[in-house]
Amino acid sequence: MKKNKTSRSTKRPESDGGAVRIQKYLAQVGIASRRAVEEMVLLGQIEVNGQPITKLPCFVTPGEDEIVVEGRRIGKRRRAEEKVYFLLNKPRNVVCTSRDPQGRRTAIDFLPPIRQRVYTVGRLDADSTGLILLTNDGELTQHLTHPSGEVPKTYIVAVDGSVEEEQLNRLKRGVYLDGKRTAGAGVKIEHRGPGKTLLRITLREGRNREIRRMLVRLGHQVRRLKRVAIGPITDKGLGVGQVRSLSPKEVGELRKTGQGGTRG
């Protein structure tokens, strides 16, 4: 009987009987971001009605299907956790995954003791520093990370060599990566010195290592990259390695940032 229920839940459309995609549901109840849930499914870390789920799409019916995430049962009548929001100024060699096989420190390690399970909103690679949000609010995470949200993120980037005007214009127009042009960036030269240029770059999309890859295409190696703003939230007053809670006003501002605010 359980097997049949699981089989139906992996195939039925969202419009049928209240079934929703598992990544959407688990994000809504604060388990993990949609992207993180997708990764857990592919790793076999989620069960529905006693059966491991290892591929997508997977649909579940809240209040009917029983879901187990990494051994933790998500009850049929589970109450949503209180939402929490933290801002970390990430140091170098800190990763934005929940675990690291190499034993490096993770962004979550910087948080004070909390009962909620939180996750990072997007990622910065280990060599990059700066602002990273951590929360259990799946809908806000979706708004801030989905390309259609167009939430601006600003970076200070040090590169080798002198970045010329034509190269700045190419960054503003968009650079082809993997056969597709980037959305274009806001770019300003902060400082130009012997053998080095300091740039302020603002993006409204979030491809993997996008800034580093764009600049390499233009012949410039990135030496330092720091995220200094996410929408209206800046790193002012937050030292490297420090973390603080976001105020309700700041959370509200993030929801309104971009093209459409938070999607329901």
Q: Measure Cα distances from 104 to 64, 73, 92, 179 in Å.
A: 39, 28, 11, 34
CA–CA gap between residue 39 and residue 72 (Å, rounded)? 17
Task: Give the CA-trace dihedral at 12, 147, 237, 109, to 10 degrees.
Answer: 40
From 16, 100, 109, 125, active-site residue: 125
What token pair was written down for 83? 């939402």
What's the first-to-final CA gap in the chain, in angstroms?
33
Specify whether 125 is catalytic. yes
Whether 14 and 21 have beta carbons less than 8 Å apart is answered as yes
Could you tell me if 54 and 42 are in contact, meaning their C-beta atoms sit under 8 angstroms apart? yes
Between CA 197 and CA 189 the distance in angstroms is 7
Residues tagged active-site: 125
